[in-house]
Copies of this chain bind each other. A is one copy, B any other.
Amino acid sequence: MKRNLLLTPGPTKIPEQLLEVLARPIIHHRTPQFQNEIKEVSEGLQYICQTQNEVYTVPASGTGAMEAAVCNLLSPGDKAICVEGGKFGERWAEICKAFNVAPVIVKVEWGKDVTVAQIKAELDKEPSIKAVFVTLVETSTGVTSDIKSIADVVKNTKAVLVVDAVSGLGVTDLQMDNWSVDVVCSASHKGLMLPPGVAFVAVSPKAYKYMETSANHRFYFDLRKAKKALDKVDTAFTPAISIMIAMNESIKMIKTEGLQNKFAQYARLAKGVQAAAEALGLKLFAQPSCRSNVLTAICVPDGMSAKKIAKEMRDVHGITIAAGQGHVEDKIVRIAHMGCLDEYDLLTGIACLEKVLAKQGHKFEFGTGLAAAQKVYNSDACAPSACGCKH
């Protein structure tokens, strides 16, 4: 009878309405019936990416979308900037290296966001750079990058700006067209509240030109094939049918609330968790200016193990949060507040965190974290009416 509450940064909790869609008998993908779904997914993802560009879907998880960007845009020997401020920034460089693209690495201290000046300096130094790979929300640190300002610089160069928006799309603002982002990579199991299995890539005309000339080997992730198929309202290979169909329902749910309202709603949930952590005497890992709506990374008290805290919350109480990754694996816990969650889910998570911290020896008065969050959730600045919540 244990609770199963996922406060993890992907997969996120799947709404019951979508679980029902996933349980429907399957249909064949080469039918007019599925063509309607393809059309709807395609338009729906344009809404989510805030773009008129085409969005190509591929059955894969998020890394597949990232690989598709690298192998379609670049040729062996090309140079590309990779912003490394966490585990997923590092993945850009790893993929580049795997495809013989020389990464120009912009190092960022974990917990901080890259500055525009850092990127501009590298672009000025090396005009042959063809792509800039950044991360919208770095899942390993809880940092959101200032994509708009980065795009302002990159758009005046020959380089294309590629955003790993696996975490963050549909949760925090990313205006592909207004900001001049060239490629957006994302997947089904975060802001879209679906099981992992569908990756997608939105591509600007500037980026598509690079795709036509890239000499990199590719087949499954060849976005020229994806485009050719989409032109005929088809998919290049067998699609992840059931998740595609559920994706349409998910996007309908998001549309009903409105994207900007969703962003406000997630920001509100995040603020409550941040307030709770600080009230408990814990430091937040990400700098104030770049803290994400997607997840909050919290430093555990000195001498305590983040892994033990997360394990006890999960195994004893059925509430799953994540410990850290890389060199902060045992130093931070990460509580996600994206997807189908509300303030009561977060209050539950905070209550459990209090319980486990106390048991492991952290000193504070029970309820301090809860009260801080509750105050945020009931303040005028975070009025439910302002954030699309139904309470």
Extra contacts, 20 of them, besides A6-B27, A76-B217, A189-B241 (Cβ < 8 A), are A4-B25, A8-B28, A11-B29, A13-B25, A14-B25, A19-B23, A23-B23, A26-B189, A30-B322, A59-B60, A59-B196, A70-B219, A94-B219, A99-B217, A195-B242, A196-B239, A196-B240, A197-B242, A216-B217, A220-B221
Copies in the complex: 2
* Interface contact B26-A195, CB-CB below 8 Å: yes
A86: interface (CB < 8 Å) = no
Interface of A is mostly: loop
A8-B28, A14-B26, A24-B19 known; A63 vs B220 contact (CB < 8 Å): yes
* Interface contact B13-A98, CB-CB below 8 Å: no
Place the interface of chain A in its size category. 35 or more
Query: What 1/0 mask marks residues of chain A from 73 to 101 whose CB sits below 8 Å from any chain B CB?
Result: 00010000000000000000011001110
Q: Which of A230-275 contact B (CB under 8 A)?
A: 237-243
The residue on B at minimum CB distance from A20 is B23
The residue on B at minimum CB distance from A18 is B23
A23-B19, A217-B71 known; A238 vs B189 contact (CB < 8 Å): yes
A64: interface (CB < 8 Å) = yes
Q: Which residues of B contact A312 (CB under 8 A)?
A: none
Q: Which of B4, B67, B240 contacts A197 (CB 8 A)?
A: B240
A287: interface (CB < 8 Å) = no
* Interface contact A63-B219, CB-CB below 8 Å: yes
A61: interface (CB < 8 Å) = yes
